[in-house]
Amino acid sequence: MNSKVAKVSIAASLLLAASGAAQAAPVFDIGIPASWSCQGSCGASGADGVVTLAPNGGNNYAWVSTSGGVAGVGLAGVGGSGSPQNGSVLRSGLFNASVDDVLRFSFNYITSDGAGFADYAWARLLDSSTNQVALLFTARTTPNGSVVPGFNMPVPSVTLDPLTVPIISGAPVWSPLGASSGTCFNSGCGYTGWVNTSFSIANTGSYFLEFGVVNWSDNDFQSGLAIDAVTINGTPVGAVSAPFTLLLLSSGLLMLRRRRNLL
């Protein structure tokens, strides 16, 4: 292989490596992006208890929890018998998307509450006026079947991977649950593990992405939702800035320059 071909091959490899790093979607590696907003209890964490890092995410994931939540954040008209209590909502900054763009994210639902007091989590797509465009999914334990959508909840709008989401039962250990970490009320406690989703944007416009979790019927035994790898057509939503991309490129060019000096 001559030196010119070798250099082209090296450059291509570096670009692929940079592309792969970007596709890892490290949305929350330095915390919740400044453009995002929180009501209640939100944060960013590394691997913790039963919640590992998302396979296609970064070194941190975001989370919302009912522990430390506030009143008035449940979804209207869903949930069946009972009523929402305290909860938390994490909302992205406004982002633009075109028709047929693909929104992707991964989530992991964790709950210490079961039986008839099953809490729930959700994700919604909102327009620039915060009107609901789509209820993307809900997660709630259920006596039988998939946690998504869960007992007495609406059908999800996203495509799920896996298609069926069982609960991994047990008393979940996870710090954002506060004093409920490692506890369980009746059957239905546990976590889902990471679930991948995709959703095709129907209309060009500006949108918010909202994640939430709420206690149901009482404020005992807490639940939470972990989120990562939030992208539009592979581009992280509100986190990876131009300096990060330039850092990847400059690192690649530096490696290429060093390699050139060795040829």
Q: pLDDT per residue over 58-117, tens digit each?
A: 999 999 999 999 999 999 888 888 889 999 999 999 999 999 999 999 999 999 998 766
Please classify residue 79 by burial: count the beta carbons closer than 10 Å to its beta carbon, then call 0-12 exposed, 13-18 middle and 19+ buried.
buried
Token pair 């581009």 is found at 235
Q: How confident is the model at residue 45 (pLDDT cuts 50, 70, 90)?
A: very high
Whether 247 shows a pLDDT value over 80: the answer reads no
Regarding predicted confidence, which is higher, 22 or 185? 185
- Mean pLDDT to the nearest integer, 30-47: 97
Whether 246 shows a pLDDT value over 90: the answer reads no
Whether 241 shows a pLDDT value over 90: the answer reads no
- How many Cα atoms are found within 13 Å in the side-chain-facing hemisphere of 234? 5
Q: CA–CA separation, 249 vs 237, rounded Å?
A: 20
**What six digits make up the tokens of 123?**
């994700």
Range 220-235 burial, b when 16+ CB lie within 10 A, else e: ebbbbbbbbbbbbeee
- Amino acid identity of residue 160, one-letter, is L
Backbone angles phi, psi at 23, to 5 degrees: -65, -20
For the segment 172-220, what is each residue's pLDDT rounded down to a tens digit?
999 999 999 999 998 889 999 999 999 999 999 999 999 999 999 889 9
Q: CA–CA separation, 257 vs 115, rounded Å?
A: 62
172: which residues sit within 8 A by CB, 6+ positions away? 49, 50, 110, 111, 112, 181, 182, 184, 189, 190, 191
Tally the residues of the chain.
263
Q: CA–CA separation, 85 vs 117, rounded Å?
A: 11
Which stretches within the chain are classed as H helix? 3-23, 242-262
Q: CA–CA separation, 77 vs 33, rounded Å?
A: 30
Fold of 34-239: Jelly Rolls (2.60.120)
Please classify residue 1 by burial: count the beta carbons closer than 10 Å to its beta carbon, then call 0-12 exposed, 13-18 middle and 19+ buried.
exposed
Name the pairing type of β-strands 84-91 and 70-71. Answer: antiparallel
pTM of the model: 0.83
- Mean pLDDT to the nearest integer, 115-123: 87
